[in-house]
Amino acid sequence: MPRSNHPKRRGTPRGDEPDDLSGLMAGWRRTETRRGREWNVQPVSSSAAVKSYTCPGCGGVIDPGVAHLVVWRADGVLGDAADLQARRHWHTSCWRVA
């Protein structure tokens, strides 16, 4: 039988999403304090930005292909799932001055 030079896939197949929130919360996420509250801040690269969003800082549109930040509460009283539902996409410069 001929040998295959293609590496075998490991982990979760593409298209399958994990059942928990760990996939969204993993990566380059960091925690910042703004106005006395803790916020989770996760960068989105330009290649991963595939939808358009409205920035709550300036009200402008974040177009697909534009690197930006996803921000959600880290200290919410309703739990992680509710905080993730309330996450917002910000221009990086708008978040810096917020």
* pLDDT tens digits in sequence order for the chain, 98 residues long: 566 665 655 544 444 444 445 545 445 889 999 989 999 999 999 999 999 999 999 999 999 999 999 999 998 888 888 988 999 999 999 999 98
Tell me how far apart the alpha carbons of residues 34 and 69 are, in angstroms, rounded to a whole number: 15
Asked if residue 76 is part of any domain, the answer here is yes
Specify the pLDDT at position 75.
85
Asked if residue 27 is part of any domain, the answer here is no
Specify the pLDDT at position 6.
57
The boundaries of the domain holding residue 40 are 33-97
Asked if residue 10 is part of any domain, the answer here is no
Asked if residue 20 is part of any domain, the answer here is no
Specify the pLDDT at position 9.
55
Asked if residue 56 is part of any domain, the answer here is yes
Asked if residue 46 is part of any domain, the answer here is yes
Asked if residue 14 is part of any domain, the answer here is no
Asked if residue 53 is part of any domain, the answer here is yes
Query: Quick check: helix, strand or coil at residue 94?
Result: helix
Specify the pLDDT at position 2.
63
Tell me how far apart the alpha carbons of residues 81 and 28 are, in angstroms, rounded to a whole number: 19
Structural domains of the chain, count:
1
Outline where 5-91 has alpha helix (H). Answer: 22-25, 80-85
Single pTM value for the model: 0.70
Per the rule left: phi > 0, alpha: psi between -120 and 50, beta: everything else, 28 is: alpha
Question: What amino acid occupies position 83?
Answer: D
